Amino acid sequence: DISPLLKDPAAFRALIDLLEDHLRASFPHIDFIAGGCLDSRGFLIGPPLAQRLGIGFVPIRKKGKLPGPTESVLYTLEYGKAELEIQSDAVEPGQKVVIVDDLLATGGTMRAACELMKRLKAEILECLVIIELKLLKGSEKLESIPFYSLLQYD
């Protein structure tokens, strides 16, 4: 739970600083930060990070939340099924994207977000999260997509 982090402006600024530093050191060019809407708390990280980097933010939402034509993917959660969407014109083929969320648990939601980006033919540079729950092995579902977590818990 990142709620305490969100309540502390200095801590939140430090978090965005760390994520910005990581991305600037890792990738010379990023077109978009994507995701964030995978979970409502993750949505609070993507836009400020994109703004710091001087790039756009592309929302990925639960089905039925985005206007216009969309691409969607149905995926399995540990407690059922869900569906994510992205606007069909959100990115152009070959654009470089980093997918951001607050937490990686079983990896189903992040994998679905990656599938949406692949359908739009974006180049996924990395999946980036604040917290990874390593015992659940979610990063294994991302296969060959680069993955980075700021904090890991066993």
Q: What is the pLDDT averaged over residues 114-130?
A: 97
pLDDT of residue 40: 66
Closest residue by Cα to residue 24 from 129, 126, 132, 93: 126
Q: What is the pLDDT of residues 6-41, one digit of tens each?
A: 899 999 999 999 999 999 999 999 999 998 665 567
Residue whose token pair is 């991302």: 142
Residue whose token pair is 């939340």: 65
Q: What is the pLDDT of residues 45-87, one digit of tens each?
A: 999 999 999 999 999 998 888 999 999 999 987 778 889 999 9
Amino acid found at 57: F
CA 118 – CA 112 distance, rounded (Å):
10
CA 63 – CA 12 distance, rounded (Å):
29
Beta bridge partners of 99: 34, 127
42: left (phi over 0), alpha (psi -120 to 50) or beta: alpha
pLDDT, the chain, mean: 93
Confidence of residue 143 (pLDDT cuts 50, 70, 90): confident
pLDDT of residue 110: 93
- As a whole-number percent, the residues of the chain with pLDDT over 70 amount to 95
Q: What is the pLDDT averaged over residues 95-112?
A: 94
Q: Among all residues, which ones are annotated catalytic?
A: 41, 78
Domains of the chain and any CATH numbers: 2-60+91-152 (3.40.50.2020)
